[in-house]
Amino acid sequence: MRILILTPGFAASEQDYNCIPPMQLLVRALQKKGMEVQVVALEYPFRDEPQDWHGATVVSANGQNRRWLRWRTWSRAFRYAEHIIRTNQVDILHSFWLGPAWVIGERLAEKWQIPHWTTLMGQDARAGNRYLRRLQPKHAGRLVALSPFHAEVFEQNTGLKAAHLIPWGVDTAETPESLPAERPLDVLGVGSLIPVKNWEKWLQTIALVKKEMPALRAELIGDGVLRSRLEKQVHQLDLSETVRLTGSLPRPEVLARMQQTKVLLHTSDYESFGFVLPEAAMNACRLVATPVGIAPQMADCEDRPEALAKKVLAAIQQPPMRAPTLPYTIEKAADAYQRLYRLL
């Protein structure tokens, strides 16, 4: 079976670990099941030449997120996809995000009579996404949500129900063979430093935990537009000796850091899934989170900093977990997508 993936971005090389990790893991899992996968990316990688990524051809329209080149980017992506269809006998089109990739997928599906599936990936399910207005009931049967929370948000904003729910998952091959007996880091946060992640709430929670546990050690991994604001808040909350802002790290280093951590605290205002949660569970972290994405199924959930702080303190005081937890794996996701592809 030949799959053509349409996406805003994909890994620029086999060492580009941080570009949409679950999509990378899914492609590898589909390949292991004998499927041939090719990728057309609209915006990233920032290059014109095709590349080989673990046996998958990746072609980029190199839009570089420049809105004034939107139509050129769409046109190039459409042409690249058509060339692949002509030369490779594509069986399935699979677009990610309800946006330009979905529009291109719909046009290709109509022209070439190829089944087209779309995975809703994040904030594209929220009311601010203008592409929601283009949806019709006929599209809902080919849409995939990532969590019950995600599916509910989508239904509230459209009146339509995504017909399928396929959670992301970790690669079981990444499961650590052994885990350290000591975990020197008390609390870890991981993610882009952007407003929707609400790291202000994370810091407020840490400040409350510190009142009960003065020797608390916490770390925030990630970078983004809020970096300077969060650095100021760290100082204002007297957390300079408690919280370390590390900036962005390669994913393998993040996973290794999780193995040194007692509690993963995630305070996002919205998640379609929250891939960091199963990653942390795989590395035997206890999970405390706001009730978004997959968190209600995986974590101890609260919304207010005061309640979150109580959960974090309770989790720190428990003995370190000694075994990975794997409720969601990419192998299960690949199995589900294979069944989905066969439906059409």
Q: What angle do CA 250, 30, 148 make, to 5 degrees?
A: 75
3-state secondary structure of 338: helix
Tokens read off for 214? 């003065």
The percentage of residues in the chain with a pLDDT greater than 70, rounded to a whole number, is 100
pLDDT at residue 68 in the model: 74
The stretch 61-72 carries a mean pLDDT of 87
Q: In terms of domains, do 78 and 209 share one?
A: no
pLDDT at 84 over 80: yes
**pLDDT for the residue numbered 193:** 97
- Same domain? 224 vs 148: no
Identify the DSSP state of 321. Answer: P
Q: Which domain holds residue 184?
A: 172-316
Give the Cα separation of 66 and 326 in Å (integer). Answer: 39
- Residue 224: CATH number of its domain: 3.40.50.2000
Q: What is the pLDDT of residue 51?
A: 95
The mean pLDDT value for 138-154 works out to 97
163 and 176 part of one domain: no
Q: Which helix (H) or strand (E) holds 153?
A: helix 148-158
Whether residues 154 and 214 share a domain: the answer is: no
Among 238, 239, 244, 212, smallest CA distance to 313 is for 212
What's the total number of domains in the chain?
2
Q: Is the same domain home to 63 and 180?
A: no
Residues linked to residue 166 through DSSP beta bridges, in sequence order: none
Mean pLDDT of the chain: 96
Please indicate, yes or no, whether residues 147 and 205 belong to a single structural domain of this protein. no
- Rounded to an integer, the average pLDDT of 23-41 is 98
Residues 6+ away with beta carbon under 8 Å from 170: 25, 278, 279, 282, 326, 328, 329, 330
Residues 84 and 18 in one domain: yes
Do 98 and 183 reside in the same domain of the chain?
no
Q: Cβ atoms within 10 A of the Cβ of 124, count? A: 19
Same domain, 30 and 165: yes
Same domain for 334 and 299: no
Domain membership of residue 35 (yes or no) is yes
> Would 323 be classed as within a structural domain?
no
Together in a domain, 259 and 131: no
Does some domain include residue 20?
yes
